[in-house]
Structure 1
């Protein structure tokens, strides 16, 4: 705007010099058209511009000095053949006598067909920078006339403007930057004003079509209001300003945005402040109120103010401006409103004392962008409740297909796993993966992101898990996203996690440490839509790493360690008592008289450690404590297909209470005997995938038979056999 104002001022100065020259001609009663060459020379010598007058010059005499220029153009002396401005007609009239008092009293000023072309070349030089400068190659002035003084005019009372009206029709302004290739234009400019007097309200109306090429944009706009200025006080006001228009182009993806703004604008250059009060803004469905103030206009402007955005359907608004959101749950982001204080600079903005409502959630705190160029985002928010699941994108077709195939395989295995009888063969090991191969990490965005976030929630729903008092602290810099803390209370238990995501390598690298304490495991599984095979309070500590940009890749590259403990639990739909009774009845060589009454197996403790190697978790030390029994397990969990393969031993610890069936009566011969089970199949089946290991049972039978034979020998021989012989016999049959 400063450059344009300078250009306009120099053009007007040149025109005034032309008027003086015409006055000289008029005073000698000559036709000014006969003196075009002299007028052009005066323009070169006094205004340092190249003036071309292709049309006639109209004029009038006292008391009005009238002038009409037709088909004229103006160029700099550095490029006289490349006009930067031309016009079809300029008409104005000036009272002669007030000029002697440094007062400019004009009638209507009319400008038709003004065309202003501003260009910055590849070296960064603008053609407007040469306006008013003498040609560098111009020869020094010869003759007796003294050279024009370069001293500035003494500061005096500025000219007083008094214009009846100003009208500009069909004007065009064009800017072309050859360095960046950017172009800006304002076409079909129509400007009209009321009487122009200093320190009075001047009605102004402006319409124009604005355009850019990077990106391609077209804007139709209209400005209406009252302009007031005081050049002595350097104070400028735009009262009752109203701006309306429509915008379209590449950023809007073929959509059209209607916009409007109004308010009172004040610029005080003496105090270096600017204000925009009573602000009202609308853009399609968006409605906002506010006020802004800027200080230090002469250095780095400091902006402050307040903003209030009325409730709107944000999803619908973004779709209307060509930026639709990913698919979400119905009515998501349909009720969004914001109230905030605002501060900033030309390169930053901060929303403080923020109150943001999103659907059924309310957030308070601060959101800031410290550096627009670096995308440096700072977030400090506290929310009441927030359901993150409703804003997550739906599963991709590929992920859904993999999930369906996986579910079908599990159902097939479950149909064949008759846990009540244990007579069916072991389920087959799963082969279908339920993990998606779709990309899940926005690598490009994360590499550019500079983030520092501290967010807390009274209740957060994430992956259908209701987390109480959730805390999220994270930062991102140079392609490394660090999760400092993600913690909260879950089903009367607690959890905490920290880790990092590094997108600098070719394959993103994830590191994660988790701590879960006394969380009901069945609640977690139910929230994920799975039938829990077990219940109990889970305590888990893990430290794992993975690489890749999909669920499948991350799981397949999973490495690390974990330890787990499940207290006060129940193996659902899996009666180990039945498996035990069946094994004991075989050893007793008796037939079970009926089925056990219970269908579940309660336990006091289930614990062990896991070692992850490329997506397979080895568990060599699983232990389950059941009243009267001890269960040990050794096996693998293949997380790639969510399958398991375990060998489990059930050890009778001496519980000799009456069993539901006499065929599985526990005697002293069975104390310490380990009954073997084999568990194989989909992980979701849990203990329903376990069967009696008949191969291992044969070895147990031999051991039990040895115990019984030893007892009979002791009964027959009594004290006649030495203790050494008894021990030898026991060892023989226990091998």
Structure 2
């Protein structure tokens, strides 16, 4: 028997009416607040913590089945602060009632207001949320297979439609008692569009973060998120980030913007970051990165570039004051690009290309273990003037130093603990280098530093028409560095070197020298006072400026023979064809006993000391005239002429022992000449004081 359609419709209408009436009248007979104790008891059994439902629970039934809460407080884990683990002032969730009849769950949205999370880690490294995620060993594992469970989850997700998530004025407090670090993220506001699988979900997030250093970051982020039904593939399109940084190192607020796209695929454990662009003032960074093994041992690879910018200006905006440089136009242009490979504790830059002002650098850098970094490098620079970036100096104040000694002094000035922790292994080559006003070409440096031992090998293939090579070792067995160096200079033109370095040159010639020295100390003075070792030196075709031995001999000849005094020589200098010697160094005192200088007319022997600590000279040179065709000087041949060298490295003095060139048979003749030429001799005496050294004229007068 067929039931009339009209009757069926009437039955359904009656049922719906009764259901609606029941829903409307249910709140009058059912009060959810009566069940607060039972709800708190269940939470206590499941978590071991207290749930305090302080606010009023409210139900709504039509057309949305919903619940709203007042203030809720969830207690902290045992052993942590008494302040709650979490609290919120209000929460709202509503489900469309009629959608339940279609086996779908459609919500109007989830609202959380004034949520506060207090996260902490104690001194033992225990987090205050660890207990919430412990599994119960008595729980029986599900008998369903992973494939079945996954399919069930996917089917369940398809039944959900969430109108959006709205979090208002939330705050997260993080305190790490192990490190003393603190982080506060407040004013968290999150708004999302309708949450639908495989469709873009608009996300608008903002918050303010601050740490114990009073660095404040205000962040705004927008993007569109796409999630697949398996919840294992995520796409973030059109990510836009806007950040304002205040406090910390910056004197004023810094604005940073960023754009990117991101694709995360969990099955393949891969992530792709495309079109990454970060800008802060003049600084612009771009990258394309691919990540693998993202769950464990994540590795990111891809090109990274920094567009040309003014680093001095950017650092100034960041509140970093640069020291005054010799060149006001230095450090004004920097650009960079490389292929990056980075993990959580290491990074490698390959195909590195960096330009700084007029210099170009290429090569690679490898950093392993960020906590205790081991750095490897292989770099080549075409040309660089280091002086441009150094503080202004007066050439007169610069002490002479070799490449190895300069490296030793620079390294020894660092704290011993820093030296012990250095871990470097690499090579650096510079085609054209200028430093301390010295010019050099084809410079090569090899550096190895590990376990408190630092070794360098350096060479300069073109060093003032000569060659330089050296080796330096620094060890840190105790509280101060111990160093040893071995250096060789071959065929170096000393005059242009000294002119560039100090602005003037009192010596010229072709120098070949070696140095093997050891010492210890934390600064220049302590190193110099501890130096011990050996030196050798040779100078060919040399000139000593400011001292004219030939002029002194000529003046003596005139006195002896009673002839007129010679006019000033055109050049106040002494020439020699060869100068050699060796020296020992003990506690910073250089002792040389075998100095030999030769010229066409003279043979000079010398011995004495040079004190590195006081920079004072104490030398005695003994010169003899060689037998030549010059008969006018025969009476002086084989007569020793003694010259005392004193003063300092920067200002040496030369004093002639006139008694060494005078004999008894000439004294009477000289006395007559002195009486006859008194005025002229007085003028000569004044000149001798100026040219030879103070006291020379008094010494001559005492002789006669």
Task: Report the alpha carbon displacement of residue 53 of structure 1 after superposing the two structures with TM.
Answer: 2.1
Task: Report the alpha carbon displacement of residue 446 of structure 1 after superposing the two structures with TM.
Answer: 2.6
SS in 2 for 1:552: helix
Q: Which residue of 1 aligns with 2:494?
A: 521
Partner residue of 1:595 out of 550, 554, 567: 567
Q: Which residue of 2 aligns with 1:694?
A: 658
Task: Report the alpha carbon displacement of residue 188 of structure 1 after superposing the two structures with TM.
Answer: 1.0
Task: Report the alpha carbon displacement of residue 48 of structure 1 after superposing the two structures with TM.
Answer: 7.5
8 Å CA contact 2:464, 2:497 repeated in 1: no
Q: Deviations over 1:567-618 (max 9, x none)?
A: 12223243322222234445x5433442264423332111111222222222
Partner residue of 2:649 out of 669, 676, 683: 683
Partner residue of 1:533 out of 506, 512, 529: 506
8 Å CA contact 1:562, 1:611 repeated in 2: yes
Task: Report the alpha carbon displacement of residue 247 of structure 1 after superposing the two structures with TM.
Answer: 2.2
CA RMSD of aligned residues (A): 3.5
After superposition, where does 1:370-389 map in structure 2 within 5 Å?
Answer: 370-389=368-387
Partner Cα distance (2:531, 2:228) in 1:
72
Partner Cα distance (1:148, 1:403) in 2:
81
Task: Report the alpha carbon displacement of residue 112 of structure 1 after superposing the two structures with TM.
Answer: 1.1
8 Å CA contact 2:554, 2:566 repeated in 1: no
Q: Which residue of 1 aligns with 2:268?
A: 271
Cα distance change on mapping 1:30 and 1:254 into 2, 3 Å: same
- How many pairs align? 626
8 Å CA contact 1:76, 1:130 repeated in 2: no
Q: Which residue of 2 aligns with 1:719?
A: none
SS in 1 for 2:502: coil
Partner Cα distance (2:592, 2:521) in 1:
25
Partner residue of 1:476 out of 431, 436, 449: 449
Q: Which residue of 2 aligns with 1:227?
A: 225
SS in 2 for 1:322: coil
SS in 2 for 1:197: coil
After superposition, where does 1:38-53 map in structure 2 within 5 Å?
Answer: 38-43=38-43, 50-53=50-53
Task: Report the alpha carbon displacement of residue 348 of structure 1 after superposing the two structures with TM.
Answer: 0.8
Cα distance change on mapping 1:439 and 1:485 into 2, 3 Å: closer
Q: Which residue of 1 aligns with 2:71?
A: 71
8 Å CA contact 1:517, 1:540 repeated in 2: yes
Q: Which residue of 2 aligns with 1:714?
A: none
Task: Report the alpha carbon displacement of residue 351 of structure 1 after superposing the two structures with TM.
Answer: 1.2
Cα distance change on mapping 1:105 and 1:545 into 2, 3 Å: same
Partner Cα distance (1:692, 1:171) in 2:
90
Task: Report the alpha carbon displacement of residue 476 of structure 1 after superposing the two structures with TM.
Answer: 1.9
Task: Report the alpha carbon displacement of residue 680 of structure 1 after superposing the two structures with TM.
Answer: 2.4
After superposition, where does 1:488-507 map in structure 2 within 5 Å?
Answer: 488-507=461-480
Cα distance change on mapping 1:121 and 1:135 into 2, 3 Å: farther
Runs of at least 5 residues in structure 1 that lack an aligned partner in the other structure: 1-22, 137-146, 407-436, 659-664, 706-735
8 Å CA contact 2:222, 2:240 repeated in 1: yes
Partner Cα distance (2:579, 2:301) in 1:
60
Cα distance change on mapping 1:320 and 1:486 into 2, 3 Å: farther
SS in 1 for 2:661: helix
Q: Deviations over 1:470-529 (max 9, x none)?
A: 111112223332222243311221111211233453333332221111111111211222
8 Å CA contact 2:551, 2:569 repeated in 1: no
After superposition, where does 1:102-121 map in structure 2 within 5 Å?
Answer: 103-121=104-122
8 Å CA contact 2:558, 2:565 repeated in 1: no
Partner Cα distance (1:367, 1:149) in 2:
53
Partner Cα distance (1:256, 1:152) in 2:
58
Partner Cα distance (2:473, 2:135) in 1:
64
After superposition, where does 1:432-451 map in structure 2 within 5 Å?
Answer: 441-443=413-415, 444-451=417-424
Answering whether residue 295 of structure 2 is matched by residue 298 of structure 1, we say: yes
Task: Report the alpha carbon displacement of residue 178 of structure 1 after superposing the two structures with TM.
Answer: 3.3
Partner Cα distance (1:115, 1:677) in 2:
89
Q: Which residue of 2 aligns with 1:359?
A: 357
Partner Cα distance (2:73, 2:479) in 1:
60
Partner Cα distance (2:440, 2:410) in 1:
27
Task: Report the alpha carbon displacement of residue 54 of structure 1 after superposing the two structures with TM.
Answer: 2.0
Partner Cα distance (2:98, 2:186) in 1:
38
8 Å CA contact 1:533, 1:684 repeated in 2: no
Partner Cα distance (2:461, 2:644) in 1:
38
Partner Cα distance (1:581, 1:46) in 2:
112
Partner residue of 1:332 out of 330, 333, 339: 330
Partner Cα distance (2:39, 2:491) in 1:
96
8 Å CA contact 1:49, 1:131 repeated in 2: no
8 Å CA contact 1:532, 1:684 repeated in 2: no
Answering whether residue 33 of structure 2 is matched by residue 61 of structure 1, we say: no
Partner residue of 1:562 out of 535, 541, 562: 535
SS in 2 for 1:159: helix
Task: Report the alpha carbon displacement of residue 367 of structure 1 after superposing the two structures with TM.
Answer: 1.7
Task: Report the alpha carbon displacement of residue 349 of structure 1 after superposing the two structures with TM.
Answer: 0.8
Q: Deviations over 1:146-185 (max 9, x none)?
A: x996637761134233122221111112223333333322
After superposition, where does 1:424-463 map in structure 2 within 5 Å?
Answer: 441-443=413-415, 444-463=417-436
Task: Report the alpha carbon displacement of residue 67 of structure 1 after superposing the two structures with TM.
Answer: 1.5
Q: Which residue of 1 aligns with 2:286?
A: 289
8 Å CA contact 2:518, 2:532 repeated in 1: yes
Partner Cα distance (1:510, 1:255) in 2:
46
After superposition, where does 1:143-182 map in structure 2 within 5 Å?
Answer: 151=142, 155=149, 156=152, 157-160=155-158, 161-182=160-181
After superposition, where does 1:629-648 map in structure 2 within 5 Å?
Answer: 629-648=602-621
Partner Cα distance (2:479, 2:47) in 1:
64
Larger RCO, structure (CA 8 Å, separation 6 or more): 1
Runs of at least 5 residues in structure 2 that lack an aligned partner in the other structure: 1-22, 400-408, 669-704
Answering whether residue 236 of structure 2 is matched by residue 238 of structure 1, we say: yes
